[in-house]
Amino acid sequence: MQTPETNYKGYFVTLLSLLLLWGVASYIISNPALPNPVDVLALMLSRRELLSHTAVSLLRVIYSLALALSLAFPAGIFSREKVVDTAVSPIIYLLYPIPHIVLLPLYILIFGIGDLSRVLLIATILFFQIAVTTRDAAKQVSEYYVYSILSLGASKFDVYRHVIIPAVMPKIMTALRISIGTAIAVLFFAESFATTSGLGYLIIDSWSRADYKMMYAAITTMALLGFILYVIVESVERRVCRWL
């Protein structure tokens, strides 16, 4: 696995490359719809309005990830137990294929136009992503490992603690990293409908007012938000899965 320093250098080079391409494209096209990245970055550093919307979006994503993980982790892990799998499998098979993003109007009708409906929508989508990955990983753990630890007098709790959870943890962390991208995408949709806060709202509002600099500032901030969360999860994975 690459060291954090190497990764950060790659991130920095990629970021500079993207900004350079953006600047060149802005100069060539010379259209207000594609402002200069320097102007956009300056706006990002000077507008407190952007900071408040970012804080709202960040909290929504964190709450959604925490809620989805707290439900999907046990549902997936304990699917090795026949009783749990009997209850979980029908839910996954019947509800997972549904495009859950269309549930936003229903969630708003039931839970109101506040943060709760948006957090629940994102958490619903992430739940199935994490639960399916965790369930499949838990079922793929070889029974020979389980029998080995049972032969040493281990309890069922010990089996999950020392065998099942460590074996599936890399897959869970991978699912969590993938879920961040999904969460940011769903966040934009959820915040562009019946709300007055969040980066998604700010993007749509700026677009409708032809304030392209603010629109790009909000888009860039949302991208950075997803990137930072991704790096944090990757850092946690290095600590939790040190054997990789």
What pLDDT score was predicted for residue 144? 86
What pTM does this model have? 0.85
What pLDDT score was predicted for residue 7? 63
Instruction: Tell me the pLDDT band of 201, cut-offs 50, 70 and 90.
Output: very high
Q: Find out whether 167 and 145 touch, Cβ atoms under 8 Å.
A: yes
Instruction: Tell me the pLDDT band of 5, cut-offs 50, 70 and 90.
Output: very low
Angle at 215 (CA atoms; ends 221, 207), nearest 5 degrees: 145
Domains in the chain, ordered, with CATH?
50-240 (1.10.3720.10)
What pLDDT score was predicted for residue 150? 85
Average pLDDT for 152-157: 85
Is the model's pLDDT at 216 over the cut of 90? yes
What pLDDT score was predicted for residue 4? 43
